């Protein structure tokens, strides 16, 4: 992947491969040091109380101002809950943010929270001309939500 930086001598934009410690300008031969990457910022989401817009914010924020309606939303501690899918039965588990692992209350499997964080697949619904039970959907495991504290 390519990144860009401005040459400190001639001010030209230089392209370089990500991870390079420095870049040599082809025009003026100056060597420009590449700054270290910024630490990843953990994000969270909430729904605006004024207009119901989904807002994204940095996890350590106390309040979030909506860019659509300017409502100032208070961030409650409940937003420090994270989600992961059980590594065995795919049940959606909720756990306190920062926990290294979570145990499923359904199948007792312990899932590491750093992996397996994809959203669950939607459960198939019968159409108007299908019965509620048919052979093709019988083998599909529908995700459940389980709150773990």
Q: What does DSSP say about strands 145-147 and 92-96: parallel, antiparallel, or unpaired?
A: parallel
So where are the chain's domains?
Answer: 2-33, 43-75, 80-147
Task: Give pLDDT, residue 78.
Answer: 53
pTM above 0.85, yes or no: no
3-state secondary structure of 60: coil
- Strand 22-24 and strand 31-33: the pairing is antiparallel
Q: Rounded to an integer, what distance in angstroms lies between the CA atom of residue 24 and that of residue 21?
A: 11
Reading the chain (149 residues) residue by residue, the pLDDT tens digits are: 788 999 999 999 999 998 889 999 999 999 999 988 777 677 888 889 999 999 999 878 899 999 999 999 998 765 577 888 999 998 989 888 788 999 999 999 999 987 444 444 444 444 444 444 433 333 444 444 445 44
């Amino acid at each position: 992947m390519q990144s860009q930086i401005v040459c400190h001598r001639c001010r030209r934009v230089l392209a370089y491969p990500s991870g390079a410690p420095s870049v040599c300008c082809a025009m003026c031969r100056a060597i420009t040091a590449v700054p270290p990457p910024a630490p990843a910022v953990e994000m969270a989401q909430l729904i605006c109380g004024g207009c119901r817009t989904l807002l994204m914010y940095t996890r350590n924020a106390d309040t979030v101002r909506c860019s659509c309606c300017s409502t100032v939303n208070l961030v409650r501690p409940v937003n420090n809950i994270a989600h992961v899918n059980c590594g065995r039965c795919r049940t959606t588990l909720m756990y306190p943010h920062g926990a290294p692992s979570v145990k499923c209350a359904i199948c007792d499997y312990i899932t590491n929270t750093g992996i397996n964080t994809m959203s669950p697949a939607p459960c198939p619904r019968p159409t108007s001309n299908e019965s509620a039970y048919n052979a093709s959907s019988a083998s599909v495991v529908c995700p459940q939500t389980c709150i773990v504290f």
